[in-house]
A and B are shown apart, each in its own frame.
Chain A
Amino acid sequence: MSAAIIEAIIEARGVAKSFGPTPALRGAAVSAARGEILAVMGPSGSGKSTLLHCLAGILVPDQGEVWFAGRRLDTRSEAERSALRRDRFGFIFQSGQLVPELTAEENVAMPLLWSGTRHGAALARAREWLGRLGLEGLERRRSGQLSGGQAQRVALARGMVAGPDIIFADEPTGSLDSVSGEGVMNLLTDAARQEGTTVILVTHEARVAAYADRYVVVRDGTVSTLTGAAP
């Protein structure tokens, strides 16, 4: 636990966020260390996805602070936060959200192309990641020709390809059966550990949270850290 305090790569301090009159977060505080896999649990509507969006700079908190790598994140401009999301963060959502018109390798190459990597180099790197996640031979398929588990692995490859500091995963197995979900979680945690990537894993499923090093529970917009959490 002390590692999270000493070497926090990302941290929310007293974050509050409302949507109209409805408060989603009321003073939420959480931090994750470099290379740590942190599960953010909680029932539907508890505010866990809002917390993830605030940490990732997608939403700006009404109150409180968000820090990334020793600098305030929430006070930066939309353009700066957007660049940060592109260059330093990776994202995996419940249902892959691949671009249907693009092939698997083109989907994976996208973050590299946005960052200015040349087309050939980006595709080569994309193919490398697809191979690493057991998707050899599927490089030219479009998302409609992939199973749910395969599409989610493509999304994982896209999230990891640019070497992000942090992967934000919001219910990454939510649309998968238990066996496919397990495959995705094994690949996600293995890849993150090998690359030293921090993972913020939002889930309401205990079986998914069990892959994490540590977990917190969001309840009524605040975060409680459970004692006796995983080592």
Chain B
Amino acid sequence: MSVLSGPMSVSLALLGLLEREPSHGYDLKREYDAYFGHGKPLSFGQLYATLARLDRDGKAIAGPAEPGGGPDRKRYVITDAGTADVEQWLSEPAPPEPGLQSTLFTKVLLAVMLGRPAIRFLDLQRAAHLQRMHELTELKRSDNMADVLLADHGLYHLEADLRWIDHTAARLDRLTQAVRR
């Protein structure tokens, strides 16, 4: 599970890490994976493509290759334009995503429409959600505060889904009357 999705978020997260301190590509990837990767590490291909784009767009500057072993000896430094992008991104709220057309919703509605056992599906989904919540709760025993914060983020979202599942289970009769032909 990656916290960030989409190339925009990846490049802005990399810029943010560069604002903290200039960095070589490899170190940047290591930092990114530690804080934001979570099971989905950034590929070197995506890393260097993103860094090349940031360089091209004037958001970060690649220094000259430094003497030393290995191919990765360029040090990247954020520019004022890059800092302005980070500042702008952090000052905007992320779009609230109500997920009105989520898979969960679609499955429940279809099950009811087709006369299939929606309550059984809701029970299975509840079990799957609880299982994931159990895993995230275990993850919270970690000393890494970034992991704890991320696990909490997941837990609150799963909890919201579960409340919807319970609420829907309690109103299946009315839903059935409303959608069946």
Chain A residues with CB under 8 Å of B124's CB are 226-228
Instruction: Indicate if the CB atoms of A210 and B128 lie closer than 8 Å.
Output: no
B159 on interface, CB distance cutoff 8 Å: yes
**A141, chain B: closest CB distance, angstroms:** 29
Contacts A206-B158, A210-B155 given; does A226 touch B127 at CB 8 Å: yes
Cα separation A229 to B129 with both chains bound (whole Å): 10
Interface centre among A43, A182, A207, A224 (most CB of B within 10 A): A207
Instruction: Indicate if the CB atoms of A215 and B159 lie closer than 8 Å.
Output: no
Contacts A43-B170, A207-B155, A210-B137 given; does A230 touch B130 at CB 8 Å: yes
Q: In this complex, what residue of A is CB-closest to B123?
A: A226
Instruction: Indicate if the CB atoms of B137 and A226 lie closer than 8 Å.
Output: no
Name the contact of B130 in the complex, choosing from A43, A182, A206 (C-beta under 8 A).
Answer: A206
Instruction: Indicate if the CB atoms of A206 and B129 lie closer than 8 Å.
Output: yes
Chain B residues with CB under 8 Å of A209's CB are 130, 133
**A134, chain B: closest CB distance, angstroms:** 16
Instruction: Indicate if the CB atoms of B131 and A228 lie closer than 8 Å.
Output: yes
A166 on interface, CB distance cutoff 8 Å: no
Interface centre among B158, B163, B166 (most CB of A within 10 A): B166
Name the contact of A210 in the complex, choosing from B123, B126, B133, B163 (C-beta under 8 A).
Answer: B133
Instruction: Indicate if the CB atoms of B137 and A211 lie closer than 8 Å.
Output: yes
**A4, chain B: closest CB distance, angstroms:** 16
Residues of chain A from 179 to 231 with CB closer than 8 A to chain B in the complex:
182, 186, 206-207, 209-212, 215, 217, 224, 226-230
Contacts A43-B166, A210-B137, A210-B155 given; does A229 touch B130 at CB 8 Å: yes
Chain A residues with CB under 8 Å of B130's CB are 206, 209-210, 215, 226, 229-230
Instruction: Indicate if the CB atoms of B128 and A212 lie closer than 8 Å.
Output: no
Instruction: Indicate if the CB atoms of A227 and B127 lie closer than 8 Å.
Output: yes
**A140, chain B: closest CB distance, angstroms:** 32
Count contacts on A: residues with CB < 8 A to the other chain.
17
B136 on interface, CB distance cutoff 8 Å: yes
Chain B residues with CB under 8 Å of A206's CB are 129-130, 133, 158-159, 162-163
Contacts A43-B166, A43-B170 given; does A210 touch B127 at CB 8 Å: no
Chain B residues with CB under 8 Å of A43's CB are 166, 170
**B117, chain A: closest CB distance, angstroms:** 13
Interface centre among B128, B130, B170 (most CB of A within 10 A): B130
Cα separation A112 to B127 with both chains bound (whole Å): 39
Cα separation A43 to B166 with both chains bound (whole Å): 9
Residues of chain B from 140 to 156 with CB closer than 8 A to chain A in the complex:
140-141, 155
Chain B residues with CB under 8 Å of A186's CB are 141
**A59, chain B: closest CB distance, angstroms:** 26
Q: In this complex, what residue of B is CB-closest to A213?
A: B134
Using a CB–CB distance below 8 Å, which chain A residues touch chain B?
A: 43, 182, 186, 206-207, 209-212, 215, 217, 224, 226-230
Can you list 26 A-B contacts with CB-CB less than 8 angstroms, sorted by A residue number?
A186-B141, A206-B130, A206-B133, A206-B159, A206-B162, A206-B163, A207-B137, A209-B130, A210-B130, A210-B133, A210-B136, A210-B155, A211-B134, A212-B134, A217-B123, A217-B126, A226-B123, A226-B126, A226-B127, A226-B130, A227-B124, A227-B127, A228-B128, A228-B131, A229-B127, A230-B134
